Amino acid sequence: MNSISNAVIWLMNQVGYAICHQFSERSLAYGGRILPVCARDTGLFLGFGVCCAALFLVYGTRPRRGPSRPKTLVLALFIVPTIIDATTSYAGMRSTTNVWRLVTGSFAGVGFAALVFPLVANRFVPKADYDERPEAFKSWWSILLLLTVPAAVSLLLWPDWPGAYWLWAPLVTLSIVFTLLVLDFLLVSFLLEWARAAQPLPSVTAVVFLAFMACLLELVVSNRLHWLVERYL
């Protein structure tokens, strides 16, 4: 049993190693075990994953117009706190904590997910008439409700209780893969649409498969590049 759990921990850490510095002092730990990525990345990827899952549950995959310009601006502002927190702390202008890293990271993940979601939903029915599509986040209340995601992520992640590592570490790892999969799904579908022009696109299942393979390749290549940088630089 220990060999299986050690193998799972190793795999999760390798996924995290592909995209994060994994400094222990900047990471959340439970029962002496550190999560696969730092506190900021933990908030970012969990915020993205939870927000996307919630939006798909609420809206489904029906094609939608993007939010209005004022709402798009507000959603983009969700990303600003983590940029400010990261740049000012790295520049030595101020010190930050894992609480701020987690909170601002989760805000960025939610804002990014909300901006990306209409693009993903439109890929499922790319030829639908744009003007007939309902607007995403038509009500300002829907924007405010998004704030519950970073609040929930930040509050639920903080307590250390028995078994917390085995809840959060797999969820963070899956959120990393899910985030990359969503972005690769968009990239692959756009590239196929551009390359095939008037020809029909492959099925959504085929695009998801291609995106998943691209996601795995990115993780492996990024992991090895991280190793090379640490070893030779």
Each residue's pLDDT tens digit, 138-191: 889 999 999 999 999 999 999 999 999 999 999 999 999 999 999 999 999 888
The rounded distance, in Å, linking the Cα atoms of 24 and 30 is 12
The rounded distance, in Å, linking the Cα atoms of 137 and 65 is 9
Q: Taking residues 195-222, report their average pLDDT.
A: 87
Amino acid at position 35, single letter: L
- In Å, how far are 64, 65, 134 from 130, measured between CA atoms? 8, 7, 9
- Report pTM: 0.92
The rounded distance, in Å, linking the Cα atoms of 171 and 160 is 16
Residue of 40, 56, 74, 55 whose CA lies nearest to 153: 40
The two three-digit tokens of residue 157, written as one number: 């992640």
Each residue's pLDDT tens digit, 118-131: 888 887 765 656 56
C-beta of residue 20 within 8 angstroms of C-beta of residue 28? no
The rounded distance, in Å, linking the Cα atoms of 42 and 157 is 9
Q: Mean pLDDT of all residues in the chain?
A: 90
pLDDT tier for residue 198 given thresholds of 50, 70 and 90: low
